[in-house]
Amino acid sequence: MYSPLEITKLPSEPFSDYTRWRLLVNDGGRHTWHYLESDEEAQAWPQTTVDKYWLGLETVWDSYSS
């Protein structure tokens, strides 16, 4: 079975590395999130602005609004 997650009680400390998540949208409109395990995978599939937006990470557009 799966091992239990160690989730922090503090909302300021995420339990997952948000920079490793990628959103894949297929031609039929299905949306699936994928977690990349290695730095090599992350380099091969960079995060898009859309990925960052839905994860609450800073985007290029955030710097224009400040």
Regions in the chain scoring below 50 on pLDDT: none
Whether 36 is in a domain gets the answer yes
pLDDT of residue 1: 63
Residue type, 5: L
Alpha carbons within 13 A on the beta-carbon side of 39: 0
pLDDT of residue 10: 74
- Structural domain span for residue 59: 18-65
pLDDT of residue 49: 92
What span, in angstroms and rounded, lies between the C-alpha atoms of 32 and 12? 25
Whether 4 is in a domain gets the answer no
Whether 24 is in a domain gets the answer yes
| Whether the model pTM is above 0.75 | no
DSSP 8-state assignment for residue 17: -
Domain tally for the chain? 1
Report the b/e string of 23-51 with b at 16+ CB within 10 A: beeeeeeeeeeeebeeeeebeeeebeeeb
Whether 22 is in a domain gets the answer yes
